Structure 1
Amino acid sequence: MAAIVSVSHKGRSYAVQVDLTNAVSSFQTQLEELTSVPVENQKLLFKGKKGSGKGDDTLESFGLKDGIKIQMLGSTVDEISGLRAVEDERKRTEQILRNRETQARVRQTTFASPGTSNLSYRFHDIQPLAHLPNPDSARSLLTKLANDEAILHVMNSYRFSVGLLTELAPHEHPGLLGLNVNQGQSIKLRIRTDRYDGFRSYKEIRKVLCHELAHNVWGDHDSNFKELNSQLNKEVAEYEFSLVRGTHRLVDGDLYDPESSGAGYTLGVTSNSSLPEFAREERRQRMLAAALNRLRIEEEELEQSCGTSGPARIMPPVGIPKCT
């Protein structure tokens, strides 16, 4: 018994020719071909509907007749996949937020002096490469890094523990400046010059160390890593500025306090010592902001020479080593 029924789905109408003696399942197969909505996702609504239309019910026994209007509800496979992707992204975002909350809970809100730091959050061993020249000098430099007050401060704040602090040989790892193995099992740093005629700048090595410490939490150079690494650099700089404010002295030659520079007068410039305290503090804050901006720019270059994650997503400029 032939009939034509009108099916509406998400604003579109379909005129479907059917045989009322056929099973409901065959009609649903037709609708799947027309709308891409799987049979199991289809829900049919119409006046005079009888029962669920399951099994071998005929269209006539289900209540269909010629000219009837049917409203079909249901999502396509692509739409369901999209919903699942949205749900997966929501869960991922919630997990990231939970991770950040966990990190925030373990952080200390005040600067800790080395004397009050937990001895678990430190470098537990230091080993220079014995087959390279001047191992004693290399050990002294690694020891200085391991005992750096600002580095110990962030390690204590974030509960970072590193099993071994050692070095990378330039000829063995020509493209790398740093490497974090197994989230803190060991950190390896390039501390020597390419020609082995000396050691790289302490400031530069320490920036690499700070970068590798961030890999204790995040492996890839993604947004999570960048956020944590930026925060570590900021806290290192702020910690040193706090020492400057408290003692008015130079710290490892990295930071400069105009109040203690001993500089003479310059024509047209007011001496810092004659400025009120709020003006000196404002100047110090500007210096800190400038230092953090320099760190951000240097960090973008440093990512290209970190061996902890996979290959860099963007090829580095000529002359800057890339990840391996």
Structure 2
Amino acid sequence: MSDITIHVAFRGNTYDLTFPSSTPLSTLTSTLEELTAVPPNLQKLLYRGKKATSQLDDVSLLDVGLRDGTKVQLLGSTVDQVGDMHKAESEKRRRDGIMEARARAGPSKIRSTGKATVNPYVFHATQPLPHLPSPHLAQALLQKLSTDPAILHIMSTHKFTVGLLAELAPHENPELLGLNQNKGEIIKLRLRTDAYDGMRLYKDVRRVLCHELTHNVWGDHDNNFKELNSQLNREVAAYETSVQKGSHTLGSYSGAYDPSSSVEADALSHSHVLGGPSNASLDDSRDARRARVLEATLARLAREEKEIEDMCGSAGKQASSS
């Protein structure tokens, strides 16, 4: 039986491995564990539209369709990463248990000690990917998202709790921008550009975060999901508008579109024509321009939301990442 060489890509590295074609799949997964620290039971091998896991370890490389020159994408978490996620999950279960016990106990008299009440509707932990370049920049972005006043406002309003806010690596899940596991147990976000030459725009990442927070309530991208997702984005815009105006109290939000870029805002609020023939024609021209800008902006937002929806790994499954 002839030898075959396969090329395994994992987190920016490529491993060229040569085996006899009759080699058991378990030998390959054990070798990959030595090279990547990903245990065989957590390995997923993607190639030519196929997928192999350690559950198929009684078969040979040839049996599972691996040929000479096959390019394989390895997906999986290391033991350390799994340990970190388990710690975050354990902490979330502990906190949830405390909240449930308090709810069952009902109201009671508590003597004030002057200490502030702990707010459960927050991100309990953040986690960048330490093996990627400049992890401190990813941590700074996660920290900014997790303490964003507008995001914390909607989390408190809708009683959202997230155990772990983590980074999603472009090379591991190139088809995803975000992922929500178990309705907020873990939310992962794509922070970096595809070329790893910097971080994605903050407001773009925050829109994906609003999308993934919506999956705390709704799994599929149905009308219920779209309505709540739009509501969250409106509430974020309303909160920031109130802060800019110096308002300390948020009233009911009208639902009118709050422009996301200064160019669109200027076009909507300051459109004018110099030397117009009459006030009526001036108003008509201004209204027409406002309508065109609004239409174009809404179309742009719809396209962006469709892209986020297409690159979301959470719809219809809240259990685990793919």
Which TM class, normalised by the smaller chain length?
Answer: 0.3 to 0.5
Q: TM-score, normalised by structure 1?
A: 0.48
Larger Rg: 1
Q: TM-score, normalised by structure 2?
A: 0.48
